[in-house]
Structure 1
Amino acid sequence: MERKPVAGAIRNKERSKKKFLSAVGKILKTKGYQGLRVNDIATTAGLDKKMIYSYFGGTDQLIDEYIRSQDFWSNIKEDKIPAGIKDGGKAFSENMLLSQFDYVFKNKELQKILLWRLSEKRKSLKKLTDVQEKNGEALFRNIMDPHFGDNDKQFRAVMAILVSGIYYLNLYAAVNGSVFCGLDMKSEEGRDEVKKALSFLVERTYGGL
């Protein structure tokens, strides 16, 4: 007889947690990270601020969980690597870069997090970087390094340029304007040209190293 109330309480808790996480995203998008205060988060969520401490342990832990949920590379984990890759990760690399390019463009909250990471020291932001590096290292070590052999570090350098370029072009379009090198980063035509370039560079890298 007690199962239904317990199950209901669990569902209510999960719904409330989602509301708090959603509230963090809304505030990030409209006010930036400076607006992430406990009272404002609770008001935006329409819930009692005491629940933040009960469900997450505190505001910092709530924000940390939100940051983890939004990052692209933090969700590309070793156990999600496709089995039986035969091309040294060429198709996988291309697909990940193209997906990341669109993901960053569409996710305004992640854009705020990326800008936040560049402007303030915070344990959760440092941890985000560490998780990204850990997941990236698993991809390199298991797929790309064996394929490129002695040129593995050069491939990593190419990927560093491509990934950082994806971040910058999307942040530039969101903050300072849309045109970069004569291409409109907010237009479908301009973004398609960048995608073609990403595919071209992956192709040439795999063919030339």
Structure 2
Amino acid sequence: MTPKLNTKETQKPARKVTSGPIREKARTMNKLVASVGKVLKKKGYAGLNVASICKEAGVDRRLVYTYFGGLNNLIETYIVQKDYWVSSAKDIAVNLVENKEAPTSEDAAALLRGQFEAVYDDKVLQRLIHWELGEDNKILRKISDEREQLGEELFKLIEPSFENSEIDLRAVIALQVGGLYYLALHAQSNGSLFCGIDVLQPEGKQRIENALNKIMEMCYDEIPKKKK
């Protein structure tokens, strides 16, 4: 005689009751973070307050405090996601640091090109940079310090190669980072020529990137050759 199946034993495990609320919390948090960018784009940084962000997200304002502990933490979460050096470039930099690989000229140029592209294409990131330049803000200072910490790790890997050269690598990188920020902001905000180059046109943008690549090649060419 065929034994009867125990239906209680063959039933699939019950779905955890917490899975729904957890997913809902994650969705709400993502919605709030995204709404920071939407408000920033519409109203600028002066419009970043709990009421406007929650209205954009369509959620109760108490959730800002429940999920993020306050407005500043919410804004910081958004900025960290948008900041090129703290988000997009971080994985590349961390990989180089963990493997103790000194960045090549191609690596350095690629990181700088990535910064240029990120600012050039993102209106909200442009607003964040304007905000950082125009106001003393603890959140923005904290993120700036995080960029510096990451940069220090990269400089520790690369600077030894330049010890006996005449290249001040930190100064060269500082000029390029600052110049690329300004060129991207100027092109998108002003739209006029810069040194006769129209950065808004593909050929003008490519000229900037080509020059960036060449500068890094020239710097690396100054590294003293090791004697065989």
Distance 1:97 1:165 in 2: 11
Against the structure 1 CA distance between its residues 48 and 189, is the aligned structure 2 distance closer, same or farther, given a 3 Å change threshold? Answer: same
Q: 1:54-69 counterparts in 2 under 5 A?
A: 54-69=66-81
1:94 corresponds to which of 109, 128, 145: 109
1:132 aligns with 2:147: yes
Q: Deviations over 1:36-71 (max 9, x none)?
A: 111110011111111111110111110011111111
The alignment yields a C-alpha RMSD, in angstroms, of 2.0
Distance 1:85 1:16 in 2: 40
Q: Give the superposition deviation at 1:84.
A: 6.9
2:174 corresponds to which of 160, 168, 179: 160
- Counterpart residue number, 1:37: 49
Q: Which runs of 5+ in 1 are unaligned?
A: none
Kept in 2, the 8 Å contact 1:145–1:152? The answer is no
Q: Give the superposition deviation at 1:31.
A: 1.4
Q: Give the superposition deviation at 1:182.
A: 1.5
2:119 corresponds to which of 84, 104, 129: 104
Q: Deviations over 1:5-49 (max 9, x none)?
A: 212111111111111111111111221101111111001111111
Distance 1:208 1:49 in 2: 57
TM-score, normalization: structure 1? 0.91
- 2:126 is matched by which residue type in structure 1? Q
- 1:115 is matched by which residue type in structure 2? H
Distance 1:199 1:72 in 2: 19
- Counterpart residue number, 1:146: 160
Distance 2:149 2:80 in 1: 14
1:177 corresponds to which of 191, 199, 210: 191
Q: How many positions carry a matched residue from both structures?
A: 207
Distance 1:200 1:175 in 2: 27
Q: Runs of at least 4 residues of structure 1 off by over 3 A?
A: 82-86, 150-153
Q: Deviations over 1:98-119 (max 9, x none)?
A: 1111111112111111110111
Q: Give the superposition deviation at 1:153.
A: 7.0
Higher helix share: 1
Q: Give the superposition deviation at 1:126.
A: 0.6
- 1:15 is matched by which residue type in structure 2? R
Distance 1:81 1:107 in 2: 26
- 2:35 is matched by which residue type in structure 1? A
Distance 2:127 2:167 in 1: 30
